[in-house]
Structure formats: structure tokens, C-alpha cells
Structure 1
Amino acid sequence: MAVVYADTYSSLSYVDRPCGTDISNLWLDVVLVVDNSRGMTTPGFQNVATNIIDIFSANTRIGSKSSEPRTTRVGLITYASNATLKADLNKFQSIGDLMDGVFDSLSNVANSADSFIETGLAMAEQLLGSQGFGTGRDQYQKVIIVYASTYQTNGESDPESIADRLKMSGVKIITVAYGDAYGLMKSLSNIASPGFAFSNSPGNAGNLVAQIQTSLLQSNCFCPDGWIQYRADYSDPASSRYGVCIQLVSLQANWLSAKMSCNNRNSSLATEFSQDKHDFIFNAVQNTTGFSPPYHYHIGLNYVSSGSWVWTQPTGRQQVPLQQPFIWSSGYPIQASSKSAVMNMQSGQGTGWQNIATMTLSANFICETYSCDTDHYCDENMNKQQ
């Protein structure tokens, strides 16, 4: 049975949907990897415990609950010369459990000057491998948060190679530097996901909770395989992401067939509410196999009998009237009742809108749907429950 979740977004506002921002509705698997060497110091260690509790809202659902799939499991690992598993992903079943466990486990530092991040990352990798998949939570995004007072290696393994392997598998890594703010943060940024390296320096401590929460919300905002997430800058993977997924379909179809094909994918033909979105889609097209110059592809703009241009929307949602900016090619739109559909057509180094007949001119096309996030849970088959 589909669960209906509130979503205040309206496409009629003519902006692209943002990622969900309700921290209480996180649905992630998170592993905390905390340095407990002498370099962390007991006050720093306790500060980490407070930071962790502050990150998760009192209403965040910790653990696993069949009645509400938007839950977050939290594991805890400490490391110095070696790593120690303090809590697996199934131990904490409430925010109270998490609070008690974190303050109990992070009360005193170890009597060791060694601080080998790779031991903590390796254990986190093992924990996610054994409990993160094959348990009905494969689609839950995986996140590791590393708190470190120094950056050392033991010569046996390389933290960067472990981090690269984790990130290649889709795991997001957040790092927090406790200590030499610039040097340590610079080193930790080599293992962090783009834009996810932070510092507890005096100038940033007040922002740290919000920065980590934003990173968790961004990690929880994702697209199923085969879809590209719209972000502020196509060339920068660390740029802010929207709650919008696009799929570039390299099948030849007329506009009406393309619209029906997107509907069958639980989506609609893509909107281009802004020049930035228009450019993002064109950049994606140029980097997708099956699309070739001169580029031309169907989008969701069309002319309706009421006498206006509108953007298609998924079944049951109101179509969105066209607003500026207008990205028509020179000489378009052509005033003809038979040319009620729109495609992007390359001219020079860019593309522009041209209106065409709905049942002619086959081309590739672009579908669009909402992302999976705190407002839209996706089940194990990546079907959105809206």
C-alpha cells in the first residue's frame, strides 16, 4: 500500500523542486567513525558526542520500523591504533538509545597517540557490506561520518584508497576535522565526498551541525539508477542538487509517443523552467551515448486548446503555464494549429525550442520525475510512494 507524504512543493511556482529538508524524515544507514586517540582529548571527544546528538532531531526515527520506512540506522565505530565496533546498525532503535549509546561510548579517549583512519574506514566498509545490503534496505543511501583529530597512516593500507572504493560504490563520506583546521581539513577532504569536508574550528563550530545536516539531506536526495539528478552546475558534482531526476532516452519517437513513454516510466516529459535547467539538459545530452549532433530531442512544452503553452506534468497534476525565460529559436513559435509540440533543436553551440507536429519528426526525448528524498520514499524497487 502506498504511503502518502506531505510535500509543499508546487510546480506552479515555476521553480524546480528542491530536495526534501525534513531532518526528522531521514531514511539512511549512517556509520559514525570517531577518532578516540589522545589527540582528540576528552573535551573534544565529548564535544563529538554532543554534535552527533544535535545532528539528529528529537523526532528523527532511529532504527527500523515496518510501519514507517523513513528511518535511519546508526552504527558507531571508534579508532586509534585499531578500530572498535561500539554499535552495529541494528543496536540503536530510538533517539534515546542513540543518545545513551553515544555518550557512553564517547566518554573517555584511549591511551594511544596513534590514530589510523583507515582502520575505522575498513570496519565501516565491512559493517555496511554485512548489514547494509540484502536486508530490505538496499535502496537506503549509505553515509559515513568521520571525526578525526589527526591524519596518520600505518603503512599497511591507504585511507584514500578505501575511501575511493567506498565512494565508487555509492557511499557518501562526511569528514569533520578536530585540530589543525587547515592542514587536517585539507587532508580529510581527500577522503570526503565533494563538498562534504568540514571543520570544528572556532570560526565554524556554530555552523557544523547545520552543515552536516545539509549533507545528510543531500545524501538522502538521490535518483534511481539510469536517472541523472539535476544540480546547480553540471560540471561540478559538489554543487547543490535539486529534487528532480531526468532520464535521457535514446529511442526515436514522435512527441506524443515520447510523452506516453515517459508516463509509463512514472514520469513526464522534462520541463525547462530556467536557462540553467535548459543548459544542464543540453550538457547531459552531449555526454550521453545515443545522442549525436545536430542534437534534437523532445521536451514537455506543448500548446493546448485553451490557447496557451504549458509544460506537461505527471498524471493527476495540473499542467504548468509557460513563463519567462522564453528559449525559442529565431522565428519560433510558428503560428500553426498543427504544430503544438516542442523539441529542442541545436543551432550553433546551443539549442532552442522549436514547435513541431505531435505525430511527426521522431527524436530522442527527456523524461523527468521527482527524486527520492525525505518527502518521497522509494521502495526497494525504486517505485516512489507519493
Structure 2
Amino acid sequence: MLRKNLFIIANIPILINLLMYNLLDAASPQDPKCQCNLETVWNDIIYIFESSSATTKNGLNELLGKIQTDLQWLTVKKLSDTPTDERYSRVGMIVYAINSSVVYPLGSINNDDIDSIMSLPFYNDQGTDLGAAILLAIDQFNNETMHRANARQVIVLLATTYNRQGGSQDPVSIANSFKENGGILIVYDYVEAHGAPAPGLEEIASPGYMCVSTQDPDGSCVNTALCNANCFCPTSYLHYGLDANNGVPTNGCYYNALTSNAFDPAWNRCKQPNDGYLAVVQDQNKQDFLNNMIPDNNFWIGLKFVRGYFIWSDPNLTVLDNSAALWSPGEPNLSNPNSVVINGRWQIVGQISTRFAKSHPVTLYIIAIRLRDLLKFGQRNRTTAAPHRKGPPHRKEGPPHRKEGPPHRKEGPSDRTAPQLRWKICFGSLHLVYGQSIDPECACNLGNLWLDVVVVIDNSQGMGHDGLNLIAANIATVFAQSNITQALGQTTRVGIVTYGQTAVVQYNLTAFDDTSTFINTIFDVCNKPTTDTVSYVYTGLAAARDALYDGRMNGRRDNVRQAIIVYTSDYITQGLEKNPEQLAQDIKANGIDIITVGLKQSIDNDLAKLAKLATPGMAFNNTDTDLVGEIQRNGLCQINCFCPIAWTQYTSQFGLASARRFALCLKLGDASGMWTAAKIACQHMDNSAYLVSEFDETKHNFTYQLFKNKSGTPGPYIYHTGLSWDVPSQQWMWEQPVAQRFLIHSMEPRYFL
């Protein structure tokens, strides 16, 4: 059998390339980028703490607290643990001044152990020997029992001063040797104690891995560096582009493998090793890069002719931009459905390549892009992705002189004579992000959408062939990442309704068992316009409502949110009895969200009223720069983010329907006089509930308004929050689930009046 090379692009959570469609315009597919999910950072990390007199004991405790907070985001396992997933970190700790010691060997501690560390040895020496400390860390990595061969070696140096010794203990030479052998050295220059950065420390750091405390206001620099360290091309993969600052692959890692001369097996094989896909080619530079990987330039690429379009194999099924095509002379020959590279230019072949005669055997390849299991900020235990965590500030002075501080009270001056009766406000678990002093917005994981959706398509003559093709491509891209199936769990079901003068339920919610079938069907449906010359959106909405109702018969999936997406180019009413606005209000009152997508086909189309049908904030049109992203992030993902019955969702503004939703739920508890009793009662309301935190005045105002509206009591409004004075650490701490706590930004509590 003739063999072919494929280009596999492995998906390490790939950064979504949201396809932007203008009418019949195509886009350039994007190569995957490194993302950061700290929960699955896959490094072996040794933290080296300076313990000299320049650091001070208070400064050493500050650095320990910072690292404890940073590591709350990581999954840390020790040698005695037996994790089923190898995507975790091992951690060790070394303390140094003139002498160095291993306080916690690599792999000897996990998250719980780290949280319980109260202090590190403080040497108080007048000098340091940094070279010896780095050598001690290297010895840990050289221990095959402690260090995993497939994990990145990372040293995080937390230093206050820098003394460069000569000879065998020269720290720069030792650090360079470590870096040349593939290690990453992150330096965190702690400047609080001495007032200015220590000159020379940047020589120790790997390029792009230098952090300075005064230049790191949100405390994310070290964890961002850990993510970058976790982004590299594995053995046998070639990178296409590196970040000039830190050497991180910018456009994926590529691997070639042998395959057959049949296109579909090649396409499918790419998915097997790393959930990859056949390579995409944006320009001649990319083509030259791929050509150089294969000596005879014979390999499959991920370009396929589907229903009148050349579609790339990337996750968004991007349409080929013809201006960037690299066809051989005489191509494309549309008598065949697939594409292959021959002699460095694109040529069309059939499902099985018969262009290669047995007398002239060639080897065809697949090439994979892979960016090693990269991360999004967030996730530990029940956490989800959040942009950046804001760590606690570095303390400049000691704690306030208060022994047993009361809980943080939000009340007016008259509170001092108020009776000792308070309510507690608790958070319930939605998609809580723990251990950070910002409130998380709803995560947008398109593969975990838990929805029943009916897509409503205006297929009247007014849409035209071009308009319907645009709709099909948009819908296919919107749902390309979704898990469309009839299986139970966090899955999506989709139905299809078309309408003109009347509406037809083309496919109900039980029709599709997989995403690919749905996407193929959408193109078929949009290729069959009705002969109706008018379109009544009322009929489409009514049919979608009935389809959702039928999908819930016998109580099936009655705990799943429901949505309707309407695609139309016109808005025509049918009188008072069939008023689409009234129907939309009734639908939304029954808990069904409506997304509208208006297509401006001519200046005569009046789509302004279409927005009145939509759930607030969910009216879009084809002139939006990122239409697919708007529908996904601000439509489907927002609908998927909701609170259980009796809980109130935290939003950017209390009582505003279009306000931005957060992944937090609040609920008023019973009256209680003591803070500890309120805390315990709150935890019993839900296994992940805890007393409310108020990180800023916006959050306080929301909590205040919620209490005012729900409590039914006159002012002054007095309630418990989750802020209390922690005696062992002598810090003000916010409550978090499962006894997790973290510092407030200010050492003194703030009172909002």
C-alpha cells in the first residue's frame, strides 16, 4: 500500500480561533497557542528561599505566604500519593544564606502539607552562597526517585540580595549549566526589605523569567512563569516559532508520521495521539516550514472540499481564504473532494490517492501540532478558569494591634447600639474559584455546555443563498466545540426549526447523537430554502417553544437550561394576536433564554425590533466583529451559568437583567448572633458554602441590596461576612470553602457605610 505523511496538530487545550464571518468572507486559521490551566501544570519545582539578615524574618514569612497562596492554584502531589492523572506538580523547598538546607525534599509535600507550613528556618546570616543552594536543588533533580523524567525541571529563586562568588561556586555558571540542560530558573526579586531591586539577579534567571515584587501588583508573575515553563515541544516535535522573550512555542509543535494513502484514516489518525488534526497552512512561510520537514514534500494537509467550500481541519472548521491558497497550476480540480501537498504545492486528490502509481512509490506523512498540555489560570478542587489571580500584597509592617478582631461588619454608625442579632449571607457553589481575592466570572467551557438549544433559521427567499450559507457556517462554528449527544451528563442537545410564512420543526432535540452529524445537517438544511417570500418570526418562535416542551416530556432533562437562537434578516409582525414581542416575553418568563442574530441584507430590513425579543445582552448581528465569540461567550456560556433554586446569582449590578453574571450564588441564612455559629450554619447550607466575602465596594453594594430586598427588616442592615482575625497567623483572613482562607489586601478592615 502506498503510504502518506500527515501533519497532525495535537490539541493541548488549543486557544479558540473564533471564526469571523462577513458575507461569504473566509478567515485564516490560527495555530494553537499556549494557555494556562494551573491545576494541570506538569512541572517538578524547587523553591529556594533566601534566609539572610537582609531578607528579615518577617520578609521570609511574607515570601512563604506568597508561595502558599500561589500553590493553592496548582495540584501538588507527593511521592506517596497515587494520582491517576500525571498532570500535577511535585514541589520541594530549600532555605539558604551562607549555608543551605533542604527543608522539604522534592515530592515530599502536597497541597495540604503546604497549607499547614507555619514558618521556614531563619538563618539571619550576613551573607549568602547562592551557588551552593542551586547545586543542592540540582541534586534533588538528579534523584530518579524524586524527579520524573517527563516533567520539566523548574527552580524558583526568591531572593533579596545577590552575592556573586567566583570559582566552582559561581552562581551564574551553575545556573547557566542548569538552564543549558533544559531547566527553567525563575527569579522573584523581593525588594520590600532593601527598597530597590538587587542588581545581578537577572543573570540567574532564564530569559523572560524574571519577576520583581514591586512590578508584580497582582502577584501572578511566578505562576505565569510556571505556565510558560510548562509550554514546550516534546522530543521528536518541531516548533513553528518561538517567543523571543521566553522561548515559548508560539504556533505549535509539529510531528510527522507515516500513514496510508486514504484521506479519512489520515484525518482520524491525527486525533489519536494527542487529540490533534491535520496541519493547516496560512501562508508560504508555513508551507516552507512543512516542506522542510518532509524531504519529498508529499503529505496530506487538513483541507477538504465540503458543500461548496474548502474547510480546514482546525477545531473551528475554518473556511479557506482563497487569497492565501497555494494551488499548483490547474488546481483546484473540484472533481475530487480532498487535498494533498505534492512537490510543495497543493493538489486535489480523491478519498484514496490514485495519483501515485505503484511504479512510483511515495511516502506521505501526517504532521501534528502539539503544545504540551497547557493551562488556564484556575482550577483546584472544584475551581474553574479565571484570568489572573490577585495575590495578597507584600506586608510592610506588622498586623494591626488587635487580638480577636470581630468579623468584617458592613453597617452604619448607629450599629454600635444595635442588638446582637445578625443575618448571615452565604455563597453557594456554582463554579467557584477559590483562593483569590477577585470574584470569578462564569467560565466558558464549550465542551461542557449543559443546554437544550433550538436553532431557528429564517429560510425565506429574502435570506438568499449567500445569507443561508453564512448562517450555516456561523452555526457550525458556534457548535464545533460542543458535545452534542443524547447521553446524560454535561451535554448539549440541539434541534432545528426553519420558518418563512410558516414554521417546520426539521429536527427535534432527540435527532442528533454527535456534533459532526449536526454540523453536516445544518449545511443540508440551509441549502434548501423555502419558496415563501415573507418570514414571520412569531411562527419560528412558537415552533421552537413547542420543540423545547416536547424535549422535556416525561421529565427528561428538566434540570437543563433551555435556549432559542433565532437567525433572521427581517422582522414582520402579524397583528396583535401573533405579536412576537409578547410571545418572546412569555417564553423568557418560563425560563427560556432567547439569542437573536440579525443579518442585514439590505437597507430596507428593519432589525431594530429584533433585539426586543432577545434576553438582555444577547442580541447580535452579522456586523459584529466577533459574532461567533459573542454568541458563545455572551450567549450560550452566560445561559449555562446559573444558580440553584432559592439562590441569587452575583452580577455586576444588582437588579439589572443585562448585568454581567459571576460564578457565585448568594443566599440569606437564618438569624444568628455569633460569628462562629453563623459560619458553621453557612457551611451546612451547602457543602461548598461559606460566609460572604466583599472584596470591593461593588460587591458590598450588591450584598447590601440583596440583604435589603430579602431580609424584610428595617435598617440599619447588619450581617456577618467571612472576614475574621486569625490568631495563629496574626492576619485578617477571608473565609473560603473547605477551610481555605486567604489574606485581605489591606491589613485593616474596610467599613462601607
- TM-score between the two structures when normalised by the length of structure 2: 0.41
Q: Which residue of 2 aligns with 1:268?
A: 690
Name the CA distance, whole Å, in 2 between partners of 1:165 and 1:324: 48
Conserved in 2, the CA contact under 8 Å of 1:273 and 1:325? no
In structure 2, the partner of 1:42 is 465
Measured after TM superposition, the shift of residue 48 of structure 1 is: 0.5
Which residue identity is paired with 1:208? L
Residues in 2 aligned to 1:28 and 1:320: alpha-carbon distance in whole angstroms? 35
**What CA distance in whole angstroms lies between the structure 2 residues aligned with 1:61 and 1:282?**
39
Deviation at 1:73, TM superposition (A): 0.4
- The amino acid of 2:570's aligned partner reads T
Measure the CA separation in 2 of the matches of 1:48 and 1:273.
43
**Aligned residue in 2 for 1:7:** 384
Amino acid paired to 2:626: N
> How far apart are the structure 2 equivalents of 1:270 and 1:136?
35
- The structural deviation recorded for 1:157 is 1.1
| 8 Å Cα contact 2:486/2:512 also seen in 1 | no
User: CA contact under 8 A between 2:570 and 2:605: conserved in structure 1?
Assistant: no
1:85 maps to 2:505: yes
Give the paired residue count. Answer: 321
Matched, 1:74 2:497: no
Whole-Å Cα distance in 2 between the matches of residues 326 and 309 of structure 1?
Answer: 8
Correspondence for 2:444: 21
CA contact (8 A) 1:181 1:200 kept: no
Confirm or deny: 8 A CA contact 1:26 1:220 kept in the other structure. Answer: yes
Shift of 1:181: 7.8
Q: Does 1:63 align with 2:485?
A: yes
Q: For the structure 1 residues 233 and 181, does the alpha-carbon distance in structure 2 shift closer, same or farther, using more than 3 Å as the test?
A: farther
Match in the other structure for 2:216: none
What are the residue-to-residue correspondences of 1:236-251 with 2, within 5 Å? 236-249=656-669, 251=671
Unaligned stretches of 5+ residues in structure 1: 330-350, 353-386
Which has the higher mean CA deviation after the structures are superposed, 282-291 or 107-116? 282-291
Aligned to 1:51: 474
The answer as to whether partners of 2:456 and 2:565 remain within 8 angstroms in 1 is yes
Given the alignment of the two structures, is residue 166 of structure 1 paired with residue 543 of structure 2, yes or no?
Answer: no
Which residue of 2 is the match for residue 217 of structure 1? 637
Structure 1: which amino acid aligns with 2:707? Answer: V
Checking the alignment, whether the CA contact within 8 Å between 2:569 and 2:607 is kept in structure 1 is: no
Instruction: Give RMSD over aligned pairs.
Output: 2.1
Aligned mate of 2:650, from 203, 216, 230: 230
Aligned positions of 1:352-363 closer than 5 A: 352=753
The amino acid of 1:48's aligned partner reads I
Structure number with the bigger relative contact order (C-alpha 8 A, sep ≥ 6) is 1
Q: CA deviation at 1:241?
A: 1.1
Gap change, CA 1:76 and 1:308, over 3 Å in 2: same
Q: Tell me the amino acid that sits aligned with residue 586 of structure 2.
A: R
Per the alignment, residue 346 of structure 1 pairs with: none
Using the TM superposition, give the Cα deviation of residue 257 of structure 1 relative to its aligned residue in structure 2, in angstroms. Answer: 2.1
Q: Deviations over 1:242-287 (max 9, x none)?
A: 1111112353443222212211112111111122111111122222
1:327/1:31 Cα in 2 relative to 1: closer, same or farther (>3 Å)? farther
Q: 1:133 to 1:211 in 2, by over 3 A?
A: farther
Separation in 1, partners of 2:661, 2:570: 31
Aligned residue for 2:540? 120
Structure 2 equivalent of residue 137 of structure 1: 557
- The answer to whether the 8 A contact 2:469-2:523 is kept is yes
Q: Which amino acid aligns with 1:318?
A: Q
- Structure 2 distance, partners of 1:82, 1:138, is 28
Deviation at 1:116, TM superposition (A): 0.7
Shifted more, 12-21 versus 26-35: the winner is 12-21
Tell me what 2:369 maps to: none
Change over 3 Å in CA distance of 1:243–1:147 after alignment to 2: same
Does residue 194 (structure 1) correspond to residue 613 (structure 2)? The answer is: no
Residue 326 of structure 1: CA displacement? 6.0
The answer on 1:30 being equivalent to 2:453 is: yes
User: 1:10-68: CA deviations, max 9, x gaps?
Assistant: 5333111221121121111111011111111111011101100100234x2102223xx
Q: Deviations over 1:315-374 (max 9, x none)?
A: 2x5212122496634xxxxxxxxxxxxxxxxxxxxx45xxxxxxxxxxxxxxxxxxxxxx
Match of 1:207 among 620, 626, 631: 626
1:102 maps to 2:522: yes
Pick closer, same or farther for the CA change 1:277–1:182 going to 2, 3 Å.
farther
Contact 1:234–1:280 at 8 Å: present in 2 too? yes
| Paired residue secondary structure (2:506) | strand
Q: Select which of 696, 701, 718 maps to 1:279.
A: 701
In structure 1, distance between residues paired with 2:697 and 2:747: 7
User: CA separation in 1, counterparts of 2:454 and 2:603?
Assistant: 23
Compared CA separation, residues 216 and 276, structure 1 to 2 (3 A): same
* Distance (whole Å) between structure 1 residues aligned to residue 548 and residue 616 of structure 2: 21
Contact 2:457 2:567 in 1 (8 A): yes
User: Would the aligned equivalents of 2:468 and 2:526 in 1 still touch at CA under 8 Å?
Assistant: yes
Which letter does structure 2 place at the counterpart of 1:14? S
Distance (Å, rounded) in 1 between the aligned partners of 2:457 and 2:701:
41
Contact 2:571/2:607 (<8 A) preserved: no
Q: In structure 2, what is the equivalent of residue 303 of structure 1?
A: 725
What is the CA–CA distance in structure 2 between the aligned matches of 1:255 and 1:151, rounded to whole Å? 56
Distance 1:31 1:57 in 2: 16
Q: Indicate conservation of the 8 Å contact 2:440/2:662, yes or no.
A: yes
The question of 1:157 aligning with 2:578 is answered yes
Stretches (4+) displaced over 6 A: none
2:530 aligned counterpart, secondary structure: coil
Q: CA deviation at 1:126?
A: 1.1
Percent same amino acid at aligned positions?
33
- Indicate the residue corresponding to 1:359 in structure 2: none
Higher gyration radius (CA):
2
Deviation at 1:313, TM superposition (A): 1.4
Partner of 1:234, secondary structure, is coil
Q: Deviations over 1:199-240 (max 9, x none)?
A: 113xx2x41100000111011011111111111122422121
Q: How far is 1:105 from its partner? A: 1.1
Q: What amino acid sits opposite 1:23 in the alignment?
A: L
Provide the residue aligned with 2:102 in structure 1.
none
| Alpha-carbon separation, structure 1, partners of 2:677 and 2:383 | 32
Q: Residue 183 and residue 277 in structure 1: after superposition, are their counterparts in 2 closer, same or farther (change >3 A)?
A: farther
Q: 2:745 aligns with which of 318, 323, 327?
A: 323
Tell me, yes or no, if the aligned pair for 1:23 and 1:217 is still in contact at 8 Å.
Answer: yes
SS in structure 2 of the partner of residue 65 of structure 1 = coil
Find the counterpart in structure 2 of residue 375 from structure 1.
Answer: none
User: In the alignment, is the contact (CA less than 8 A) between 1:271 and 1:312 conserved in 2?
Assistant: yes
Query: What TM-score, normalized to structure 1?
Result: 0.78
| Aligned-partner SS, 1:92 | coil
51 and 65 in structure 1: CA distance in 2 versus 1, 3 angstrom threshold? same
Give the superposition deviation at 1:8.
4.1
Q: Tell me the distance in 1 between the aligned counterparts of 2:547 and 2:690.
A: 39
CA distance in 2: counterparts of 1:38 and 1:136, whole angstroms:
37
**Aligned-partner residue type, residue 70 of structure 1:** Q
Taking structure 1 as reference, are residues 186 and 250 closer, same or farther at Cα in structure 2, changes over 3 Å only?
A: farther
